[in-house]
Chains A and B, each alone.
Chain A
Amino acid sequence: MIKRLIVLLLMLVLGTIFWQLLSAYQPDTELNLTGRYYADHTADDLGAANVVTAIIVTYRGLDTLGEVTVLFLSAAIVGLVLASGRQGEKQRQQLTPVGELLTIGMRLLVPLFMLLGVYIFVNGHLTPGGGFQGGAVIASGVLLTLLVDPVKHFSHRLIAIIESLSGFFYVSLGAMGLLLAGGFLDNRILPLGELGHLFSAGAIPLIYSLIGLKVGAEFSSMLIDFSETEAP
């Protein structure tokens, strides 16, 4: 009872703080200094139509490299933690059949999911999309496959190869920015092209596609790890 009271008191205090923040909040009418810099310089400097993508891949590219590393670490730790619960042989008989609808739907939709994912990360510099979103869509295709056949065997080796190769090329492209352009992960190692075209914005589409492959592989490996774990 006393615990519940403490929790409620804490919520009350936090709620008051939030209320103060909210009632004193004055929305901006102008972009702040940083936002204005990005809005003014993205098109000329980097040639990317999507300003958010330019920030993520180039202006704050190092942060994104760190983010991908964190995601890789969590996928690896999930694999490590669940590894002991994994069993090679599973009884296929015990599984109830999933039904015609899901099976046929999976066959129709999974290639489309993969296509959509690739489309999203290839067009990341033009449309509201990008590597992380595209990777998540690709992983949702893997999830649908796992829903239909939970004991389906995916090649961990293939996923690991895709992930490490895309990570390697991502860092290599970043290092090429050091040699050929202004700094690490600079996208101007390739011609900037015309604003709004698919082949524009220098290395951004390449880097974002690599991020998409890497994120897709990481999410898929997490999903497969969870699916392969036996009920304790």
Chain B
Amino acid sequence: MIAQIVMATGFTLILIGLYGALSNRNLLRMIVSFTLAEAGVHMVLVAVGYITGRTAPILDQAVPADEAATLIIDPLPQALVLTAIVIGVGITALMLAYAYKLFEKKRSLDIGSFTELKW
């Protein structure tokens, strides 16, 4: 049940983030929306690897190595999400730097004032 709740929260966050990114006109708000959607994707991915009643994939006295396969949750989604979080930080930093550059050029963060690529 927990997996479904986390997954539903993640999907909701993705929807909120995408809606925010599509409906806001301000660049900074769009960036915040993208990070929200990103958090949602991470939650969904982690929830996929969850198995009810099992523990974190770390071996110790409670999780001996030879019984690990019946006691731990799937470690692979967690590794993937760690990668995704780090890449997400890099992307957010890039978006912020470009937003600064755009503001420097047009003195505005409104997406409507950037008409060069408009058709």
Binding site for B on A (CB under 8 A): 4, 7, 10-11, 14-15, 18-19, 21-22, 25, 27-32, 34-36, 38-40, 42-44, 49-52, 55-56, 60, 63-64, 67, 70-71, 73-75, 77-78, 81-82, 85, 126-128, 130, 132, 136, 195-196, 215, 219, 222, 225-226, 229, 232
Contact = CB atoms under 8 A, between A and B. Distances in A.
Contact of B103 (A10, A70, A232): A232
Interface string B64-105: 010011001011101100110111011101101110110110
Given A22-B11, A39-B72, 4 more contacts: A4-B23, A27-B50, A52-B75, A55-B76
A153 B52 CA distance: 50
29 contacts: A22-B8, A25-B3, A27-B4, A27-B50, A29-B51, A38-B76, A39-B68, A39-B75, A40-B69, A43-B59, A49-B59, A49-B60, A51-B58, A52-B57, A52-B75, A52-B82, A56-B82, A56-B83, A67-B83, A67-B87, A71-B89, A74-B91, A74-B94, A81-B97, A82-B100, A128-B56, A132-B82, A195-B65, A196-B59
A81 B94 CA distance: 9
Contact of B11 (A18, A32, A49, A70): A18
Contacts of B8: 22
Contacts of B74: 28, 31-32, 35
Nearest to A133: B82
Q: Which 5 A-B pairs have the closest CB atoms?
A: A74-B90, A43-B65, A51-B57, A18-B11, A232-B104
B93 A74 contact: yes
Contacts of A71: 86-87, 89-90
B98 A81 contact: yes
Contacts of B23: 4, 7
A43 B72 CA distance: 13
A61 to B, nearest CB: 11
A63 B87 CA distance: 12
B75 A38 contact: yes
Given A44-B65, A52-B79, A77 B94 contact: yes
B45 interface: no
B114 interface: no
Contacts of A82: 97, 100-101
Given A27-B3, A29-B51, A34 B76 contact: yes
B86 A132 contact: yes
Nearest to B78: A52
